[in-house]
Structures are given as structure tokens and as C-alpha cells.
Homo-oligomer: A and B are copies of this chain.
Amino acid sequence: MAEQQDLLYLDYAASTPVDARVAQAMSALMTSAGSYANPSSTHAAGRQSVGHIARAADQLAGLLNTRAERLIWTSGATESDNLAILGGAHYRRDRGRHLVSMRTEHKAVTDSFSELERQAFDVTWLDPEANGVLDIARFEAALRDDTQLVSIMHVNNETGVIQDIEKIGAICREREILFHVDAAQSVGKLLIDLDALPVDLMSMTAHKVYGPKGIGALYIADRPGVHVDPLLFGGGQQHRLRPGTLPSQQIVGFGAAADIARSRMHEDLERLAALRDRFWSGVHDLPGILLNGDIDNSFPGILNVSIEDIEGESLLLALEPLCVATGSACNSASQEPSYVLRALGRSDALAQSAVRFSFGRPTSLMDVDFAVEHYRNAVDKLRRIAPGHAA
């Protein structure tokens, strides 16, 4: 297809390529004798698989400064979010039926809470401030005596905005409320020290950090009262919390990706900040352009901009061959304006014109310059076509 030519991928928040070393480790495991065995098998080959998995768990635990035993493997952050929220709320249902989250969470979180609402739990949906950040006083005011679980994401997938999970967690801990963090967008990107953070449950996924798709993990803190009911049954793997044959090649891929992320996190962050700043300085003077979120309090790999008087779908097509997102990629098949940006107070029209540019390890300064030029041209073209602009 002609489409394959010359695409410029700037959608690293949706998914990343698998690092070549990660792919190599996975390939080796899948085919080499003795390594493809079922880790549930007690024979020597099975034990080799167990060894590979244990090493990967150590790598991921090392990235997050926790212990391997605290990590449950899942099929991705969607499942981790479900396990944490449905499983956590069920496990603790006797402690109360009140739950707190935000409107700007990922669908995997909001839809899990909606399911709990159908099960007669009571959910408070908090709105962020206009910059996307949750106000701590507002958060505290929402807590009740029967609040048993809070879920607040670390880095927002649409805007890159970072929530203060340390402060929120400290408040939860004081009141013995279970605190879950969706960290799909931050694991391997921002420094996370689970030994120090007051977080009880944390969701993560490999494919946002140069690992394979379809493997995630849930961190479960080693504290009394912190536990989840399983969603799946059978087999007894992973202390019955999540059965199923452990996908060794996937896990090894996640581990390798975590290891690489750890070794270059600082460097990645610096590069991404430089790319993001260059992009923003290239477009910020466009009339009617607005940054969604808070550039001073964001993961620098994500920049989300709205622009007045521009129709979003046409903008996206005019931006080709740039591969960028409107709203969350996980939801972008729908043409609805992003509920995340609506919660930030953007009008439907502005939300609909929003484009998320997200940068990654392969992104170069030249790519950014190309994207700036393309974005300016696209806006220009659509404005010239639109009624009301002098031809």
C-alpha cells in the first residue's frame, strides 16, 4: 500500500515499537529448546521457564524499587485496572461501598467503576482543574467514612498531566483507603519508587514502554488489608489471583523492556522534553491554538493541542502522513469529542479539534520540525477552505 510509505509515527502514547533487544530476547525464548516449556511444569524444562520469568520479574521490580513477589502478571493495563478496581472493591466490600475516581481516567478505569455502579457501589467522579490536575482539597472533601477505594492515574494518556499520587496516597493511607494508580503511561518513563510511595495497587503495561503488547502487571503492596478478589479462575497460577499459563516470552519481553527503561530513563526524559518544547515553540503562535493540560506538570512525551475553528477529523486527514491521535487511541474509533478534554472544560468544538502528539525514542528533531510544518500547513489549508475566512 502507498500508505506504508513515509509515515511519521508520533503516537507513542498509544503504543511503541518493541525494542530490538526485547524482540530478540522474546524470539530466543519462544524457539530455543527448554525455554518454551510451560512454567507450571515441574520438570527441568519447566524450571528453566520459571527461571526466565523470575529474572523478568526482578527486572520489572527493579525498575519500580519493589520485590518481584508483589507483581501479578496480566494481559495488560486494561486487565490490571479491572483486577484492581473490581477485585479490590469486591475484596473490601464490607469496608464500605463508596469509591472515588476522576472523570479523566482511562476507559479501563471508568468502565470498571461504571460496572461497580451497576453493582450498587457508589462512585464519586471528580473533575480536574482546567489544567487537568486534581485539586487535593477537592479530593479530600470527596472522601467519606465508607470510602474504601480510590483510583487516580499517574500520567494522563491524553494530556500527559501528572497527578500527585504521593500526596493523594498519603491521604488514603491515613484513612485506610485502598489506593490504586493506573500507571500505564508512566512506568518506565517517570521515576516510581514503590517502596517509598503510599500506593497499594498499580497497573502497568509493557507496550507503552517498548515492550510487547498483551502483557501487563498489577503491583499489590505487602500491607494488611491490601488484596483483590480474582476475576479469573483455574489452574492456581500466581497464588490463584490470576490463573492461566504464564506467557514466558511476553514476560521476558516486559522484563527486558523494564531493564532498558531503567537504564535510560533520565536520558529519555531529557530528549522528550527537548522535542516537546521544540514542537510547542514551533506552533504556539498559531492564532487560536491552546495547550490542553499543563506543560509544567506533564510527562514530556505527550503534547495535546486544540485549535479554534478547525474540524478535528479533517485536521487529522490533512496531517497525514503524520500518525497522531485525537483523544485516546484506545477509544479513537468513536468520533465523540474526548471526554477527558471535556472534563478540562473544553467546548465540544475545541475538544474535537484536539490532536495528541506523542514522542518516543525514535523521534528526531527533524521529525518534530516536519510535524510543525505539517501542522501549520494543515491548519492553514482548512482555514482557507472554511467559510468566514477571506479567500
Contacts and interface: CB of A to CB of B under 8 A. Distances in A.
Contacts of A42: 316, 325-326, 332-333
Contact of A34 (B4, B108, B232, B324): B4
A326 B333 CA distance: 47
A297 interface: no
A329 interface: yes
B234 A324 contact: no
Interface stretch (A208-216, A258-266, A278-286, A343-351): A208-216
Contact of A76 (B15, B43, B44, B244): B244
Interface in A6-61: 7, 9, 11, 14-18, 20, 22-23, 26-27, 30-31, 33-34, 36-38, 40-48
Contacts of A322: 43
A213 B233 CA distance: 18
Contacts of A78: 232, 234-235, 243-245
Contacts of A249: 18, 212-214
A108 B234 contact: yes
A276 interface: no
Interface of A: 1, 3-4, 7, 9, 11, 14-18, 20, 22-23, 26-27, 30-31, 33-34, 36-38, 40-48, 74-79, 81-82, 86, 106-112, 114-115, 205, 207, 212-215, 231-237, 243-250, 316, 320-326, 329-334
Question: Nearest 8 A-B pairs (CB), nearest first?
Answer: A214-B247, A108-B234, A78-B244, A18-B30, A111-B233, A75-B75, A213-B247, A14-B38
